[in-house]
Amino acid sequence: MAYEKIAGIKCYLSPVREEDADLWANWLNDLEVAIPLGDEAYRVISTEGLREWIRNIGEHTHAFNIVQRDTDRLIGRCLLFALNHVNRSAMAGIFIGEKDCWGQGYGEEALRLLLDYGFTILNLNSVMLGVFSFNTRAIACYKKIGFKEIGRRRQARIIGQKKYDSIYMDIL
């Protein structure tokens, strides 16, 4: 059972649990889900490794499940990590693992909820994220929320014979 920690209209954010690791492993071992995330695509993600990660979440990471409101179905994960309380900054990460939920606004709402938590509860000043240039859907979502491009590492990701930039974005 998912517990509602941060409420939205389409979805809510719920604390992560060790038993979620099976579903996360399914998502993260699906290349269609994993390639836009980065290094997850280049290794097999084990359920036990994810359980260990959940058990060892420290004070510098705040991770949440994304849960579809009308069905209480776990559909993704988001997190704030690399928290720096001196400079009031963090990195954000998000993915929707259930492909039938892609393009329906769940990621946008979940990220808005996560940012509200970061800025209001954790008292952050800035949140940064990275995205690959081929992930146009994510880039459009981030810009709609208010993220601005702050840098680019050219041809940083090579998939097959194609080269893509890593784009760095932040929001204040």
Tell me, what's the pLDDT at 50? 94
Tell me, what's the pLDDT at 96? 97
pLDDT digits (tens, 9 = 90+) for 9-62: 999 999 999 999 999 999 999 989 998 888 777 788 899 999 999 999 878 899
What does pTM read for this prediction? 0.93
CB 104 within 8 A of CB 137: no
**Which among 89, 76, 56 has a CA at the least distance from the CA of 13?**
76
Q: With the CA atoms of 10, 16, 19 and 22 taken in that order, what torsion angle do they form, in degrees rounded to the nearest 10?
A: 70
